[in-house]
Amino acid sequence: MDELLLRSIVPGVLGVLVRRGADFAAAEDAVQDALIEAVRVWPADPPRDPKAWLVTVAWRRFLDATRAETARRRREDLVEEEPTPGPAPGTDDTLQLYFLCAHPSLTPSSAVALTLRAVGGLTTRQIAQAYLVPEATMAQRISRAKRTVSGVRFDRPGDVSTVLRVLYLVFNEGYSGDLDLSAEAIRLTRRLAAAIDHPEVAGLLALMLLHHARRAARTAPDGSLVPLAEQDRGQWDTASIAEGVRILQSALARDRLGEYQAQAAVAALHADAPTAAETDWVQIAEWYDELVGLTGSPVVRLNRAVAVGEADGPRAGLAALAELDDTLPRYAAVAAYLHERDGDPGTAAKLYAEAARKAQNVAERDHLTRQAARLNSRKE
């Protein structure tokens, strides 16, 4: 059975149940039950219309559960209202689910978990493993999130930027364990882009595709990080790049710039350079100027300092860096890089060692330690 196909139907099924009047938490439980049943039954007896099958089974499960509780009155009302089975409009229901799962009343970690479960159709165990927490913990997080949004009216349009932030978080978590969160985020963003016509949705999808394209080149066989400039560009996924660039271009053509399109533009310029030396840093620095204007984010300013250092020389980069708060994450790493380029390996080595102490993940720490070691062991 095609698990991805199965999971792609899930939000539509959930949407039908909710539209028929099931509350979100109960509907979601019923759909999960139906999925488990599908895994059991389909291999021997595949349905002609998988979605209709899931709707029927999930609806029956929902009614059973409602009957088992005390809400008899409510059930009878629902049964009377039950619409005749037929093709359901898929996209609108799916879109509502995205908004619901990213609702502003949820914390980021809850929104991420709920999105992966209700929209992505993943099991609680898969999500728990991906985020390295016990399954019971993740189950609690998800059921609390469901309770939080259960009272939310399902008919108001949401703010798409909240959905994009959740999908960005899933993508950035990357790859840990058996579940590929980046690929999952791309799948969910792709479907969102099909359901809603919005340049920032396209921008985020392009950004993801362009970064995902570099994945094979980003780590060496021993697991160590390979920085962008040293990556084997032959290993980049050209199909993914081409798709990302195409999506980005048509988004930019609509002249409604946003932060994801601007970030994707930077990624596209990197993808476009046949070698690191041929990178168009002047244009990249200009895009970072746009991004600073759009977000004002200190992290963006830090990346801008790197781009300025490449476009106008390390002194200009250090000058841009000097305007920033030196407690920013990765500040020391950027300073180390610019000082090395400026011909001061002694200062750079000290800064790389400091950056390693401040690193927030093991791969980056090991990489920075190697950089310090490389400079300290150089022949004078």
Residues of this chain that bind other proteins (CB under 8 A): 222-224, 349, 352-353, 356-360, 362, 365-366, 369-370, 372-374, 376-377
- Residue number with CB closer to other proteins (84 or 377): 377
Say how many Å lie between the first and final Cα of the chain, rounded: 62
- Residue number with CB closer to other proteins (283 or 376): 376
For residue 219, list its beta bridge partners.
225
Over the Cα atoms of the chain, what is R_g?
A: 24
Q: How far is the CB of 359 from other proteins (least distance, A)?
A: 8
Q: How far is the CB of 362 from other proteins (least distance, A)?
A: 5
Are 27 and 17 within 8 A, CB to CB?
Answer: yes
- Residue number with CB closer to other proteins (116 or 138): 138
Number of H helices, E strands in the chain: 20, 0
Q: How far is the CB of 178 from other proteins (least distance, A)?
A: 15
- Residue number with CB closer to other proteins (74 or 357): 357
Q: How far is the CB of 353 from other proteins (least distance, A)?
A: 4
Amino acid 361 reads: N
Closest CA relative to residue 302, chosen from 255, 280, 335: 335
- Residue number with CB closer to other proteins (223 or 234): 223
Q: What is the rounded CA–CA span in Å between residue 110 and residue 127?
A: 11
Q: How far is the CB of 277 from other proteins (least distance, A)?
A: 23
Amino acid 281 reads: W
Amino acid 309 reads: G
State which H helix or E strand residue 74 sits in.
helix 72-81
Q: How far is the CB of 367 from other proteins (least distance, A)?
A: 10
Distances (CA, A) of 158 to 145, 162, 199, 201: 17, 8, 16, 14
- Residue number with CB closer to other proteins (16 or 351): 351
Contacts of 336 (CB under 8 A, 6+ apart): 347, 348, 349, 351, 352, 354, 355, 368, 371, 372
Q: How far is the CB of 135 from other proteins (least distance, A)?
A: 16
Amino acid 189 reads: T
Sign of the C-alpha dihedral computed for residues 139, 141, 142 and 147 taken in this order: positive
Q: How far is the CB of 71 from other proteins (least distance, A)?
A: 41
Q: How far is the CB of 369 from other proteins (least distance, A)?
A: 5
Distances (CA, A) of 336 to 55, 318, 329, 356: 57, 10, 13, 11
- Residue number with CB closer to other proteins (305 or 333): 333
Q: What is the rounded CA–CA span in Å between residue 332 and residue 178?
A: 33
Q: How many residues does the chain have?
A: 380
Q: How far is the CB of 217 from other proteins (least distance, A)?
A: 18
- Residue number with CB closer to other proteins (5 or 132): 132
- Residue number with CB closer to other proteins (59 or 337): 337
Contacts of 90 (CB under 8 A, 6+ apart): 12, 15, 51
- Residue number with CB closer to other proteins (152 or 226): 226
Residue that the structure tokens 């007896």 belong to: 45
Are 306 and 279 within 8 A, CB to CB?
Answer: no
